[in-house]
Amino acid sequence: MKTVLVFDTDDPKGMQNTIKIVEHLAQEYANRAPRHHSLPFGKIEFIKTLRSFMTEAVALEDLTEATSLRFAKRFSDKVWNQKEKGERFTP
């Protein structure tokens, strides 16, 4: 199968669509994962997420757990999973 795509640098939306198409084709036909993840995150939502992280960390009795990589990973997994579903993060 051959596909020809036009990458028009004067059309920002068209460029984004072309990137999505190429990533999809690469994933489907070349068994390659996309080069980047595009999870939208607004500045206010990001600030609220940081505040939620701090609140959960402070609520822990063990300070070493609150500053651990494991705790940060569990929290980030929660955020990431909701964002992949197209939802806003809610603690």
Q: Quick check: helix, strand or coil at residue 60?
A: coil
d(CA 7, CA 9): 6
HSE-up (13 A, CA, CB side) for residue 80: 7
Fill in the DSSP letter of residue 36. S
Distance of CA 71 to the CA centre of its chain: 18
Residue 36's pLDDT is 60
* 12-68 residue pLDDT tens: 898 898 888 888 887 777 765 555 666 777 888 889 999 999 999 999 988 899 999
For residue 1, name the pLDDT band (cuts at 50, 70, 90): low
- Amino acid 47 reads I
d(CA 41, CA 63): 29
Residue 6's pLDDT is 78
